[in-house]
Amino acid sequence: QSYLEEIRQASIENRKLLSVLVDPDKFDENNASEFIQKLPAEASHIFVGGSTVEKGRTCEVVKVIKNLSQLPVILFPGDHSQISPYADALLFLSLISGRNPEFLIEQQVRSVEKIKNTNLEIIPTGYILIDGGNETSVQKVSKTIPLHQDQIPQIVNTALAGQYSGKKLLYLEAGSGAVFPVSAEIIENVKSALDIPVIVGGGIRSIQQLQKAYEAGADMVVIGTAFENGSFQG
Ligand code: 1GP
């Protein structure tokens, strides 16, 4: 079974995917079963990760979720400390919109010892940070400047550079808690230029925004904050 293959297949068949992002620092194990039960029926994946996570928390959280849910659990790590062998797959991220070697290669090299003896499926993923109207923690932690929403050719070229260098997924990120999500125009342009599946996340809080992202061509949408605090406008 390949999780990447499932995402690719869904993309080909135009079956839209919805990933719920769990930030281990904000996850309350005591309410875990309630949280899982309340997830929308459309949820297809659970991502686990955050910009900064207290050491060791990721493993605990992944184990709790794996016990309660059948959904694939995919790591979406902010750094190498957030790698857990109990998850199903790992987005092996490179922050290709930025020019900070720490998140282009250093964290990746540092994660190898933790990954190489696990069964985690490694999914090379190009990660592009786009301005969402506020300074998000990914911007602060990565010390990179997001691409502006107007810079569409630059965003498309960055995405294509990711695909040409072998990334299997492309993630358009406005940052957790973004004021506004990645625009439909950006998603349309990136999707039509690329052959690989496109993931979109950051600042999506309503069914309208979710539909808009899907209609623009997102294969998978990631929602964290709005499910975390129960504020999603369904
Ligand atoms: C962050 O894209 C995700 O990486 C989710 O963002 O918390 O704003 O939903 P939100």
CATH code of 131's domain: 3.20.20.390
Q: Quick check: is 199 in a domain?
A: yes
Total structural domains within the chain: 1
Once rounded to an integer, what is the mean pLDDT over residues 146-174?
Answer: 98
pLDDT of residue 55: 83
Q: Quick check: is 222 in a domain?
A: yes
Q: Quick check: is 136 in a domain?
A: yes
- Mean predicted lDDT score pLDDT of the chain: 97
- Residue-number span of the structural domain to which 50 is assigned: 3-228
Q: Out of 173, 180, 209, give the residue to mutate to test ligand 1, the one with the largest number of ligand atoms within 8 Å of its CB.
A: 173
pTM for the complete prediction?
0.98
Locate all alpha helices (DSSP H) within the chain, ordered by sequence: 3-12, 32-38, 57-68, 101, 107-115, 137-142, 152-164, 184-193, 207-216, 225-228
| Distance between Cα 54 and ligand 1 center (Å) | 19
**115 phi/psi in degrees, rounded to 5:** -90, -35
Q: Quick check: is 233 in a domain?
A: no
Q: Quick check: is 10 in a domain?
A: yes
Q: Quick check: is 80 in a domain?
A: yes
pLDDT-wise least confident of 52-56, 145-149, 229-233: 52-56
Read off the pLDDT band of 24 (50, 70, 90). Answer: very high
pLDDT per residue as tens digits for the range 135-157: 999 999 999 999 999 999 999 99
Q: Out of 18, 52, 91, 176, give the residue to mutate to test ligand 1, the one with the largest number of ligand atoms within 8 Å of its CB.
A: 176
pLDDT of residue 1: 86
Q: Quick check: is 75 in a domain?
A: yes
Q: Quick check: is 124 in a domain?
A: yes
Per-residue DSSP letter, 29: G
Q: Please give the single-letter amino acid code of residue 140.
A: K
pLDDT per residue as tens digits for the range 107-133: 999 999 999 999 999 999 999 999 999
Q: Is the CB of 204 under 6 A from ligand 1?
A: yes
